[in-house]
A and B are shown apart, each in its own frame.
Chain A
Amino acid sequence: MAADDYAIVIGISGYPGLSSLEGPENDVDLFTQWLRKKDGGNLPKKNISICTSRFCLSKKFDPSCCEQIEEARPNREDIEKLFRPWVIAGTLGNTSGRRLYIFASGHGFGKASDSHTNPMDTALYTANADVYFGLHVAVTAYANWLAQAAVFDEIVLVMDCCRTKNLMHPFTYPVLTNTSHDPEKARKVRKFYAFASPWGNAAKEKRFMERGNRTYGIFTIALLEALAKARANRLGNVKGETIKKYIHNVIDEIAGDTKVPPPEIDLGNYHDLIWFTREDSTSPYKPLVTITLPEFRGNEICHIQNGALEALDSIPFASERLSVSLDPGLYKFSIEGTDRNKLIQLLNDDIEITI
Chain B
Amino acid sequence: MTSKSRSEKKIPLTIQAPDNATEIFLVSDRFERIESGIGKLEQSVSPGLYKVRFRSGMTQEDRLIEVGKNQSQVVFKEPPLSFESTTPLVNTHEDNARQCTIAKQQSSIVHLKAGKGSRLFLFIRHPHSGSSENPGEGVTLHSLEGKKIAGMDDGLHSSENGCWCLQVELDPGTYRLQVDTGSLGTFERFLVACENWQTLFFGMTTDFSLRESEAVEEHISRVLLKSSSVHMMKTGKIFDPASASSRMTELSKIALESGRTAVDENSFGKLFAENIDNPMFGIYGAHQLLGNRRPDYTIIDEIAKQLESLLGPHPDVLSLWLRNSSDRLDKKSFTLSSPPMLTRSWELLTRESLRRSSIVPEGSFSDRFSNGMLSTAPWLLHRVTIEPETGSGTPSRARTQEMLADLARISGTTKGFSLLDAALKKRKDLTQLEHSIAQAMLNQAQQRSANPPSLNKLVENIMVPSVAVKRSTKSLFEKLDLKKDT
Contact = CB atoms under 8 A, between A and B. Distances in A.
Interface of A: 19-20, 64, 70, 112-114, 116, 131-133, 164-168, 170-173, 175, 198-201, 245, 249, 252, 259-261, 305-310, 328-332, 343-345
5 contacts: A112-B461, A170-B461, A198-B259, A259-B59, A329-B29
B171 interface: no
Contacts of A114: 460
Interface of B: 1, 3, 5-7, 28-32, 46-51, 58-60, 62, 64-66, 68-69, 84, 184-185, 211, 213-214, 258-260, 291, 293, 343, 346-347, 372-377, 383, 425, 427-428, 432, 435-436, 439-440, 443, 446-447, 460-464
Contacts of A133: 427, 435
A308 B32 contact: no
B373 A167 contact: yes
B84 A259 contact: yes
Contacts of A261: 58, 258
B461 A249 contact: no
B29 A170 contact: no
A170 B69 contact: no
Contact of B259 (A19, A175, A199): A199
Given A166-B374, A167-B462, A308 B432 contact: no
Contacts of B184: 131
B443 A172 contact: yes
Contacts of B58: 259-261
B461 A64 contact: no
B375 A345 contact: no
Contacts of A113: 347, 460-461, 463
Nearest to B436: A170
A308 B48 contact: yes
B29 A343 contact: no
A308 B259 contact: no
Given A170-B461, A200-B377, A331-B49, 14 more contacts: A19-B211, A131-B185, A132-B427, A132-B435, A168-B432, A170-B436, A170-B462, A259-B58, A259-B84, A260-B58, A307-B1, A307-B49, A329-B31, A332-B49
Nearest to B377: A200
Contacts of A198: 258-260
A307 B375 contact: no
Given A259-B59, A309-B47, A168 B32 contact: no
A330 B50 contact: yes
A64 B214 contact: yes
Contacts of A70: 425
A305 B440 CA distance: 62
Nearest to A261: B258
B142 to A, nearest CB: 21
A52 B439 CA distance: 25
Contacts of A249: 31
A200 B30 CA distance: 30
Nearest to B445: A175
Contacts of A329: 1, 29-31
The 8 A-B pairs of least Cβ separation, nearest first, read A307-B29, A167-B375, A200-B259, A259-B58, A343-B64, A330-B49, A330-B29, A167-B463
B463 A112 contact: yes
B1 A308 contact: yes
B64 A344 contact: yes
Nearest to B60: A252
B446 A175 contact: yes
Contacts of A173: 443
B21 to A, nearest CB: 16
A201 B378 CA distance: 11
A20 B211 contact: yes
Contacts of B375: 112, 165-168
Contact of A164 (B7, B346, B377): B377
Contact of A309 (B49, B436, B446): B49
